[in-house]
Structure 1
Amino acid sequence: MDIGASLSGLLGGILIGLSAVWLMGSLGRISGVSGILSGLLLERPRGDSAWRLAFLLGLVSGPMVLILLGGELGNVADAPDEVIGAPAGGVGLMVIAGLLVGVGTGIGSGCTSGHGVCGLARLSPRSLVATLTFLGVAMATVFIMRHLLGG
């Protein structure tokens, strides 16, 4: 077991939790990425764009800062011995998958960060059902892709 990767994951989890608490404490908002993005792109409430844009820029710029400081992105490299590696289906499949996830977050009224991190922390029954659904579908997808379709 790689202790460095475990500590990296632990630190990342702590930072996600702290950012969710900070957003809730300072603005009274849920740290659900799909809701923040859709609020910025679709709803555009007056005076509500600055924090949404700052949150999303922080989300994307974190890995960039890590790279600039000489860090590594861990298991997203396309090395064959990595845990995840390069996307198996290419960019087109990734775009389709991203669009499907977007539709799913609309249907589910939130994403894994909103339901799984913030909703579960608030003991929301709806978020528990949503999170169990996300996890169940993810497990079924991996099983089908790896064991039934041989991917």
Structure 2
Amino acid sequence: MMTKKKDKEFVTPRFAYPRIPQDILFAIGGFHNGIPSDVIEAYDVRANRWSVVEGFDSIGRRAHHGTAVVGFDIYVIGGEEGSKDLRSCLCFNAVKKTCREVAPMHECRSKLMVAVLRGAVYAMGAEAEGKNQRSAERYDPKANQWSWIAPMNKGRRGASAAVLNGT
């Protein structure tokens, strides 16, 4: 950020920029001491510190799940609780600190890939019943509904998915 005053430039120092509340990272569930966890932690980038998010209904113990962000809603998708693969989907609102169950996926998915494209959440591949899955589905948050999409060419699990410039 720069301002001019009589042919002199003044650069605003970074510490004087306004705080951006989006500078928060969330760590949700996973394993703790070999057991799936129900803890949500938040990392404040500017303060360089972690804190446990409290004051909401639990997401349940989950590991190997996917997460997707649409607005201030964080979707916690599938995963496993112990040795049981899940198809359930929870929605944690980071502002209101509320958690609610939304429509479940058609298929149980653990170690799945998740991405958001144009406001829709995509769940792809996974491990289910010990096998790599090719199937994929799309969640419409406005309709609270999952629908099948074309399967991937090869089954896979534990991979990543990303969206870049709307693709």
Q: Under a length normalisation based on structure 1, what TM-score does the superposition of the two structures give?
A: 0.28
- Relative contact order, higher structure (CA 8 A, sep 6+): 1
| Structure that is richer in strand per residue | 2
**Max Rg structure:** 2
Structure with bigger helix share is 1
